[in-house]
A = this chain, B = another copy of it.
Amino acid sequence: MSRWTYSFGEGAADGEGSQTELLGGKGANLAEMTRLGIPVPPGFTISTDCCAQILSNDGTWPDELADQIELGMAAIERASGRRFGDAADPLLVSVRSGAAVSMPGMMDTVLNLGLNEATLPGLAAAGNERFAWDSYRRLIQMFGDVVLGIPHDAFESLLHAARQETGVQSDNELDVASLKQLVSRYKDLVLNETGAPFPSEPKEQLRLAIDAVFLSWNVPRAVKYRQLNDIRGLKGTAVNIQAMVFGNLGDTSATGVCFTRNPSTGEDQFYGEFLQNAQGEDVVAGIRTPQPIDQIDSILPGMLQQLLDIKARLETHYRDMQDIEFTVQEETLYMLQTRAGKRTTQAAVRVAVEMASSKLIDREEALQRIAPSTLDQLLHPAFDRAAVRNVAAKGLPASPGAACGQVVFDPADAEEWHARGEAVILVRSETSPEDIGGMHVAQGILTSRGGMTSHAAVVARGMGTCCIAGCSDLAIDSTSKTAKLGATSIKEGDWISLDGSTGEVMLGMVPTVAPTLSGDFAQLMEWADKARRLKVRTNADTPEDAERARGFGAEGIGLCRTEHMFFGEDRIAAVRRMILADNDRQRQAALAELLPLQRADFAGIFSAMAGLPVTVRLLDPPLHEFLPHEPAQQEELARSMGWDVESIAGRVEELSELNPMLGLRGCRLGLMHPEIYDMQVQAIFEAAGLCQSRGIEALPEIMVPLVGTRAELATIRERIEKAEPDLRASAGFEGPMLIGTMIEVPRAALTAGEIAEVADFFSFGTNDLTQMGLGLSRDDTAPMIRAYIDAGIYDKDPFASLDTAGIGSLVEQATEHGRAARPGLKVGICGEHGGDPASVHFFHGCGLDYVSCSPFRVPIARLAAAQAAIQERLRQQL
């Protein structure tokens, strides 16, 4: 015989707190509180297994369920000293849903079951007649809505009419006569709508309510909520049947909601509010203003201490901040709920650190308590939580932060507006490397196309600039410099605000507050650094980024993209001359111009990272990215360079590719035009020499991109090594100079053993590895990826979180074969996934040496790496 019900009451319980999967969060915690001797109204929980069973059987109950409910009700009757359906002193019960994961407001609840014309006088005797009729009115309304499916509005209209007829403002003021008439009208409504009278039999009420709660698991809003919140793998909801207690039985009754610590700041201070002579739903309804919890003794002397005692017992027991609900019925305190309290990241960090400091939890547990991705909130300016948000559209939260500015549609305009002191938001269909100047000065970036790893998103995260990408509700008309944004229109100069953490685009200026990196945060990070094995580097292309990342704890640069430097105003002309060169002499001349600039770039970055390794990736993107594609820009370039526009257009056409992602870029460029890499390598040696002469330890590492075969890397390596003695001599650099490669082409991962023979290190370029391995252009498939996630074809965006089964298997194979061929091979990862906690866990498991991510994700990666190490240790202990 299967067991479906679990009782609690009189200090004992069948279930316990750890059984949230079986009993739901609410049921498990009611059982646990009962076991702890905390006053809880008696009741029982029907398990989630039962829900699954019923849902898969078209709503039919398993055989034993009715009997077990009967036994459960008998236990409640015993514990409460009342009987269900008893006319003299009736037991009333609530029926509440409660899944393993909290889904607030998504599923149904029915209160006051057991009330009918026969038991009403008994309830009135316990309290008063008005209370009894109001309770009955509430039962019919709630039951009618939840169980019988009668539109809520139908009851509300009758209630509204009753208030008008009696000339009162609020429901509380309805007198017994009015309530009696209202109950009668409610019953007529039920009869008309369902063709049957309102069920008066208490057991029938109970059975119908339980059914309704189970079935509410699959109502559309609940399904949608689980989708949106990525809640998977649950069997269903549990159902809690519990004796009613009433906070509205007079002035010595009350109801309240508290947090054991401040959920905004994390301060260890009992925090909450209560309402005298009220029920829980009144707190939610917000008709009366609740009082702060520390004033409760003014109406219920000694009650605060009772609550503080319970607070202390719950925190000590659960070893976490709790969110509790209580009711006082005629001076007697009942706890109705406890659960881990939701809190801001700031609060979470403080609570974890303080609990660890007071030995309530150990440091490893403190580290486990923080979701790494939430640290974002501590690092970027944030919108004032109190501010009103006028959300006009939503896109992908591509780069966190809060930005307000005036709309501009053109990067050149952005630079111009910024020059005269304006704050601007750059609004584009998508961005390209040519837009870098405008992106750099913008407060935030908003694009209508592109995914989480589109150019806009990657560059913005690198800069720490707020960005919302792929906002499909945005339609730009660049000629008129206007755009449609959801239902409204915006034009150049309009103020908008972007929330990079939620993807919300808001009209007007939403005020922001600056972040404070608290001492708790620093403490937590220190613990994380001790716990983790993976090193954490950063992706940074400028000394400023490098310094910022170092401040966030980066232990070197895992990816320094040299191409971003090529777009600088002082060098793009030379870059273009180099590309457009007719002959070797012209090209060498252009490269000679670039050499000192590139050398200065590197020297600045090496200095900012003094004593830490800096992996410089040689030029990667296809050359046409550096040339203008619009006729007008081409004409301007032609004028400024004294060329004819046709040859420029011709060269652009010649360099254009059908699939540039799979074209002439990376080391292919370096092999077809070796002089470019020659210049970059020379600049690296000279910059390192310059640092050395200033007493700064430079640790450069040369990284060759897009290698697919051993021969590609070997050829480039040979050329560098041939030049090396002369370069070292003239640059005066004596330190080590590693030469390694990105592993970003699937073939490189598949033949990593061969490639490792000529590589000092591997760095997985998981962006491209994902693009090629999944055959998925990140710039083209963002809407498809979203549709795939909605349809359950993808679990998650493979550009945000590594596809471990597919791309991950390449990472594993390549690491294993690479290390087998070259023991001690240094292996890292520098794709976007380096800052994604789930991916960091995977990389830890692969035995990588480091992850590298954008500066603002460095703390996230540090914490995720610590959690990965801790969880590995815990698993090994099992």
Contacts and interface: CB of A to CB of B under 8 A. Distances in A.
B747 A774 contact: yes
B708 A774 contact: yes
A664 interface: yes
Interface string A153-166: 00000000000000
A241 to B, nearest CB: 39
B775 A708 contact: yes
- Most B CB atoms within 10 A — which of A657, A771, A780, A781? A780
A787 interface: yes
Interface in A724-773: 744-747, 750-751, 754, 768, 771-773
A190 to B, nearest CB: 41
Given A746-B773, A751-B805, A784 B711 contact: no
Interface in A763-813: 768, 771-777, 779-781, 784, 787-788, 791-794, 803, 805-807, 809-810
A794 B751 CA distance: 14
A151 interface: no
A806 B746 CA distance: 8
A696 B772 CA distance: 43
A774 B749 CA distance: 10
A792 B715 CA distance: 10
B662 A793 contact: no
Interface string A503-544: 000000000000000000000000000000000000000000
Contact of A662 (B671, B750, B780, B810): B780
A661 interface: yes
A849 interface: no
A780 B662 CA distance: 8
Given A777-B659, A807-B747, A793 B711 contact: yes
A781 B660 contact: no
Nearest to A805: B751
A777 B807 contact: no
A316 B498 CA distance: 87
Contact of A712 (B712, B750, B777, B793): B793
Contact of A777 (B663, B793, B794): B663
Contacts of A387: none
A671 B772 contact: no
A831 to B, nearest CB: 14
A672 B709 contact: no
Nearest to A712: B793
A526 to B, nearest CB: 39
A715 B788 CA distance: 11
Contact of A791 (B671, B771, B794): B671
A668 interface: yes
Interface string A300-342: 0000000000000000000000000000000000000000000
A807 B777 CA distance: 20
A641 to B, nearest CB: 24
A658 interface: yes
Query: This chain: how many copies in the complex?
Result: 2
Interface in A676-714: 706, 708-709, 711-712
A776 B660 contact: no
Contact of A781 (B662, B780, B794): B662
A780 B750 contact: no
B658 A777 contact: yes
A662 B788 CA distance: 16
Nearest to A658: B779
A744 B776 CA distance: 12
Contacts of A781: 662-664, 668
Contacts of A794: 709, 711
A783 to B, nearest CB: 8
Contacts of A662: 659, 661-662, 771-772, 775-777, 780-781
B658 A792 contact: no
A744 to B, nearest CB: 8
A777 B657 contact: yes
A388 B820 CA distance: 58
Contacts of A803: 747
A214 to B, nearest CB: 28
B750 A773 contact: yes
Nearest to A753: B805
Given A659-B659, A660-B780, A746 B775 contact: yes
Contacts of A807: 747
Given A708-B774, A712-B793, A775-B745, A661 B659 contact: yes
Top 7 nearest A-B pairs (CB, nearest first) are A747-B806, A662-B777, A659-B777, A663-B780, A657-B780, A745-B775, A711-B793
14 contacts: A659-B661, A659-B780, A664-B781, A671-B793, A706-B775, A708-B806, A709-B806, A745-B775, A746-B772, A746-B773, A746-B806, A751-B805, A751-B809, A772-B772
Interface of A: 657-664, 668, 671-672, 706, 708-709, 711-712, 715, 744-747, 750-751, 754, 768, 771-777, 779-781, 784, 787-788, 791-794, 803, 805-807, 809-810
Given A659-B780, A746-B746, 7 more contacts: A659-B661, A661-B775, A662-B772, A668-B784, A671-B793, A747-B773, A747-B806
